[in-house]
């Protein structure tokens, strides 16, 4: 799951959202530098990622990207899941997705003191380019694929990976539809067990 899914699966708990969004930028014991509920958001993110990476549907869907993306197939699959989530009116209407994006940007800016430096540097670009809303557009996915390819150690050309997305669009959408209710239930169960939210 990528940024939109982690925002959505925080269910508008502000500090849980902060932890969920910054988790990839927090290494090891650094999580203990944060207030307890942000720590819980960090752990929620990791729980969601583990659930996603080990789910049978994800394992099968990643095969569409293996030839072109190799070990990064899972990272591209995370972006693909966000694309179909952004279009999923069973979760939110388009207006509600716009509202969630705004809520997320405002919450993160209000918690700037807790943002890791690299995330704080990235946030203005995330907001000005409206990454969360623009996952709904294929051009937004193409831009995300370009960015991930640029950051990847062993990839140089995003085009074959994006072509795999286009050519397998229906299969990938079916994978999302099978998978997302499972990860949503997983996240809700995780949150319900937290003393600050339960």
pLDDT in tens, the chain (198 residues): 899 999 999 999 999 999 999 999 999 889 899 999 999 999 999 999 999 999 999 999 999 999 999 999 999 999 999 999 999 999 999 999 999 999 999 999 999 999 999 999 999 999 999 999 999 999 999 999 999 999 988 899 999 999 999 999 999 999 999 999 999 999 999 998 887 654
- Kindly state whether residue 112 falls inside one of the protein's structural domains: yes
Split into its structural domains, the chain has a count of: 1
- Please report the pLDDT score of residue 53 as a whole number: 94
pTM over 0.75, yes/no: yes
DSSP 49-107: HHHHHH-HHHHHHTHHHHHHHGGGHHHHHHHHHHHHHHT-TTT--HHHHHHHHHHHHHH
* CA 160, 162, 164, 167 torsion-angle sign: negative
- Kindly state whether residue 118 falls inside one of the protein's structural domains: yes
Radius of gyration, alpha carbons of the chain? 16
Closest CA to 111 of 15, 47, 181, 4: 15
Which distant-in-sequence residues (6+ apart) come within 8 Å of 193 by Cβ? none
Closest CA to 197 of 44, 21, 25, 26: 44
- Please report the pLDDT score of residue 198 as a whole number: 44
- Please report the pLDDT score of residue 196 as a whole number: 61
- Kindly state whether residue 117 falls inside one of the protein's structural domains: yes
- Kindly state whether residue 25 falls inside one of the protein's structural domains: yes
- Please report the pLDDT score of residue 154 as a whole number: 87
- Kindly state whether residue 197 falls inside one of the protein's structural domains: no
- Kindly state whether residue 198 falls inside one of the protein's structural domains: no
Our CA angle for 120, 183, 8, nearest 5°, is: 40
- Kindly state whether residue 72 falls inside one of the protein's structural domains: yes
> Are residues 58 and 186 in contact, defined by beta-carbon separation less than 8 angstroms?
no
Task: Look up the domain containing 185 and give its range.
Answer: 3-192
- Kindly state whether residue 56 falls inside one of the protein's structural domains: yes
- Please report the pLDDT score of residue 193 as a whole number: 86
């Amino acid at each position: 799951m990528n940024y939109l899914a982690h925002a959505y699966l925080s269910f508008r708990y502000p500090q849980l959202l902060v932890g969920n969004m910054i988790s990839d930028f927090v290494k090891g014991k650094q999580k203990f530098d944060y207030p307890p509920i942000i720590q819980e958001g960090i752990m929620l993110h990791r729980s969601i990622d583990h659930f996603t990476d080990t789910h049978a549907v994800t394992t099968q869907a990643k095969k569409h990207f293996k030839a072109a993306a190799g070990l990064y197939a899972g990272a591209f699959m995370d972006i693909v899941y966000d694309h179909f989530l952004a279009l999923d009116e069973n979760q939110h209407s388009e207006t509600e997705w716009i509202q969630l994006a705004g809520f997320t940007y405002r919450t993160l800016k209000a918690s700037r003191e807790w943002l890791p430096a690299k995330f704080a540097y990235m946030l203005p670009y995330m907001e000005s380019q409206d990454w969360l809303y623009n996952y709904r557009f294929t051009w937004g996915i193409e831009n995300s694929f370009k960015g991930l390819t640029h950051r990847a150690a062993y990839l140089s050309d995003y085009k074959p990976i994006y072509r795999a997305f286009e050519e397998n669009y229906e299969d990938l959408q079916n994978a999302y539809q099978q998978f997302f209710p499972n990860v949503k239930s997983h996240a809700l169960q995780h949150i319900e067990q937290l003393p600050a939210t339960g």
